[in-house]
Amino acid sequence: MSSSSLRLLAFVVLAAIVLAAGFGALGAAGRF
């Protein structure tokens, strides 16, 4: 696996966690 695809993978993981934190907080609110 090349280093650039590793970087892309790491970015995807990071994006997923940050988005999950945001949408998780939105979901916990139940309604918006």
Provide the residue type at 18 as one letter. V
Of the chain, the end-to-end C-alpha distance in Å amounts to 42
Query: Interface residues with other proteins (CB under 8 A)?
Result: 6-8, 10-11, 13-15, 17-26, 28-29, 31-32
b/e code 13-23 from CB counts within 10 Å (16+ = b):
eeeeeeeeeee
Residue closer to other proteins, measured from CB, 2 or 29: 29
User: Cβ of residue 12: shortest distance to other proteins, in angstroms?
Assistant: 8
CB of 5 to other proteins, least distance (A): 11
Rg over CA atoms, the chain: 14
Tell the smallest beta-carbon distance from residue 4 to other proteins (Å): 11
